[in-house]
Chain A
Amino acid sequence: MKKNIKHEKILQQICDFMGEDLDAPACKEVAEHIEKCPSCKIYLDTVKKTVILCRKLEENKKLPKDVNQRLCKILNL
């Protein structure tokens, strides 16, 4: 029973865990659980992959020169 509560808590925390201070006590607890729990590991890996794909899809675009020129004109710069 105790294990289930922890598992559920970890699944909720996985998203908070990503990109945060991995040395924080809460993150260490999540990391330790994930190492032993294949289901949570898969969930974390697939969420990470999702975010990576979205970042690649939405990567920074260079500001077009004409857009910047129009901006400077409007702002009188």
Chain B
Amino acid sequence: MTESELVVAAKKGDRHALGQLVSKYNERIYNLALRILRNKEDAEDILQEAFLTVIEKLDTFDGRSSFFTWIYRIATNASLMKLRKKKLVFAEFPENPDFEKSLENMAFVDWSQDPSLNIHNEEVKKMLGQAINQLSETYRTVFILRDLEQLSIKETSKILEISEENVKIRLRRARFFLRDVLSKYFSERIVS
């Protein structure tokens, strides 16, 4: 059965079809929630909540978006609700619309080939993990969907219900912030 056929069958109460949809997306939804919330217990809560919502609202799914987009939107929104309740303090981003223009005056140092900047370096791991934690939901979700889940700009904009231009702006800023963290680490290491 195709995914659309599975959805139609699940709507009619076919538990086997529903089970196949759950098997198809359970790991992806768990990983998505884990990336947004960075906590295993929270990710499990969202996994359950997302599929319970799917079952509850399956009747209202009209197929205008893909099932994938729909379930991702449900899981992303549920994760964000949980994230908001945690009341974390996030990094501040410049609201200046000319933010990217500031890049023009920067001198870039090429550390992309530095062998010490790898994921086996515990310092780098810790630093990047903390930096991702500092991204507020606005930037974190776009970065996760686009760069970690590797969805297209179009898919990301549909899931988050924002314009493609907005996805691009948020993505630029998130990447700039994370890149800057590594740049600072590299510079400090050179100086010391």
Residues of B within 8 A of A7 (CB): 104
Interface contact A46-B179, CB-CB below 8 Å: yes
- B129-141 interface code vs A (CB 8 A; 1 in, 0 out): 1001000000000
* A51 in contact with B129 given A60-B31, A68-B26 (CB within 8 Å): no
Residues of A within 8 A of B78 (CB): none
- B50-83 interface code vs A (CB 8 A; 1 in, 0 out): 0110010000000000000000000000000000
Chain A interface size, under 10 / 10 to 19 / 20 to 34 / 35 or more: 35 or more
Interface contact B48-A71, CB-CB below 8 Å: yes
Residues of A within 8 A of B22 (CB): 71-72, 75, 77
CB distance from A38 to the nearest CB of B (A): 9
Interface contact A74-B171, CB-CB below 8 Å: no
* A61 in contact with B34 given A53-B119, A68-B26, A71-B26 (CB within 8 Å): yes
A24 within 8 A of B: no
Residues of A within 8 A of B51 (CB): 71, 74-75
Binding site of A, secondary structure by majority: helix, strand, loop or mixed? helix
Residues of A within 8 A of B55 (CB): 75
Closest residue on chain B to residue A48 by CB atoms: B112
Interface contact B108-A46, CB-CB below 8 Å: yes
| Complex Cα spacing A16 to B108, Å | 19
* A46 in contact with B168 given A20-B153, A61-B30, A75-B22 (CB within 8 Å): no
Closest residue on chain B to residue A46 by CB atoms: B112
| Complex Cα spacing A18 to B169, Å | 14
Can you name 13 extra interface pairs (CB under 8 A) apart from A15-B168, A16-B172, A61-B31?
A8-B104, A11-B103, A12-B100, A19-B150, A42-B112, A47-B176, A54-B128, A56-B119, A57-B129, A58-B132, A63-B26, A68-B26, A71-B47
14 contacts between A and B (CB under 8 A): A8-B101, A19-B146, A42-B112, A43-B108, A45-B110, A46-B108, A46-B183, A50-B175, A50-B178, A53-B128, A54-B128, A57-B125, A74-B48, A75-B55
A interface vs B, CB < 8 Å? Answer: 4, 7-8, 11-12, 15-16, 19-20, 39, 42-43, 45-51, 53-58, 60-63, 67-68, 70-72, 74-77
